[in-house]
Structure 1
Amino acid sequence: MSQGWDDRTRAAGYDRGYDRGRDAGYDRGRDAGYGRGGGGNGGGYDRPPRRSSINAGRLWSGGVAAAIIAALIAFLALLLVRVLLQIPYLAPTDTGALAGGNTTTLCVSAALAALAATALAHLLLVSVPSPMSYFGWIAGLLTAVAAILPLLSSETLAVRITTGIIHLVIGVAIISLVTTAAMAASNR
């Protein structure tokens, strides 16, 4: 005799679809957190909130990479301004393309800013809700300060604007890279 639908599907290893779905936690939308709770596998309100974890090694390796990139951006910007645009940025143009110790100061400052941003992101990840929103605001405002502050100096207008633009580009790169590293290191 022929087997019925239920017998054939059970023999093949299948159960009724709604039973299988309920066993896997898909009963009446509870997997998305809409259920009444009621224990077990449904994903209702009875589960404790999920704690996030941070992979600090991944965050800080991304922060170190961001520091290297920030230093390289600073160096490239300095070369672009001094060699191609012939703007006496950080030293008179007759001192050469690298401008001596001022180049090192700019590159090291950019790298330290990236490491400080990584430390800020780590602190926010472990202490506040919605940490990347706070990070974006804090880092964005600090970048704006770093871009506007050179405009108050007594340098020529070209040097002041150039300094502000370089600080802005470095800050945006740091924000982007550290945010990416923080999101990759967190399971939020």
Structure 2
Amino acid sequence: YAPGTPVAPVAAVTPVRPGLDAGRYWAGVAATAVVAALVAVVGVVVLQEILDVDLVVQDVFGTGSEMAALVVGAVLIALVAGALLQLLVVTTPKPQAFFGWIMGLGTLVLALLPLTWTDVATSAVATGVVHLLVGIAVWSLLTGVLSRTRRVVPAR
């Protein structure tokens, strides 16, 4: 810079904040819940009905069946994960990184938990595989939903 040299004006920066196209985002969360439920159904059909492996399920929802308990659990996981991801988007600087860690560790815990419910390793591992597949489905689908519905909005 030399004295007397004209300097270009700096454009005003409009403050922005992260946001979501909420309607499309929650439609994606709902579709994710449907896929998660279907992953649970396929897991039960393949493992319990075709391969004749007894699944070990904690029926905390009082559904009366392994399949219904896994389906309800899968739907709830998808909805809670969707709400968590939306919260992270509006409150944290790297929401996808935090979401990835939370989903990864949460899925790992849910996959290992059946090992504490029974001494029958085959049943525990089979149930853990269903939990693992549901977690992976929810994680990958919601990450994709976020990438298609995220937007930047002017700060107020």
Gap regions ≥5 residues in structure 1: 1-35, 41-45, 92-99
Q: Which amino acid aligns with 1:60?
A: W
Q: CA deviation at 1:38?
A: 1.8
**Matching residue within 51, 54, 68 for 1:85:** 51
The alignment covers a number of residue pairs equal to 140
Q: Deviations over 1:123-181 (max 9, x none)?
A: 00111111111111111110010011111222411001101111111100000011111
CA–CA separation in structure 2 for the residues paired with 1:155 and 1:184: 44
Q: Give deviations 1:22-42, integer Å, cap 9, x for gaps.
A: xxxxxxxxxxxxxx86235xx
Q: 1:56 aligns with which of 16, 22, 26?
A: 22
Task: Give the C-alpha shift of residue 49 in structure 1.
Answer: 4.1
Superposed, which structure 2 residues align to 1:13-162 within 5 Å?
38-40=9-11, 46-90=12-56, 101-162=65-126
**Bigger relative contact order, structure 1 or 2, given CA contacts below 8 A and separation 6+?**
2
Structure (1/2) with the larger strand percentage: 2
Specify every segment of 5 or more residues in structure 2 that has no aligned partner in the other structure, as ranges.
1-6, 58-63
Query: What secondary structure is seen at the aligned counterpart in 2 of 1:52?
Result: strand
State the percentage of identical aligned residues.
36
State the TM-score, normalizing by the size of structure 2: 0.82
CA shift digits 1:67-123 (9 cap, x unpaired):
0000000001100001221112249xxxxxxxx622111101101100000000010
Compute the RMSD of aligned alpha carbons: 1.9
The amino acid of 1:109's aligned partner reads G
User: SS at the partner of 1:53?
Assistant: strand
Larger Rg: 1
2:28–2:142 contact (8 Å) kept in structure 1: yes
The TM-score, its normalising length taken from structure 1, stands at: 0.69
1:182 and 2:146 matched: yes
What is the identity, as a one-letter code, of the residue corresponding to 2:80? A
- Kindly tell me: are residues 129 and 179 of structure 1, through their superposed partners in 2, closer, same or farther at Cα, counting changes over 3 Å? same
Q: Label 1:124 to 1:87 Cα distance change in 2 as closer, same or farther (>3 A).
A: same
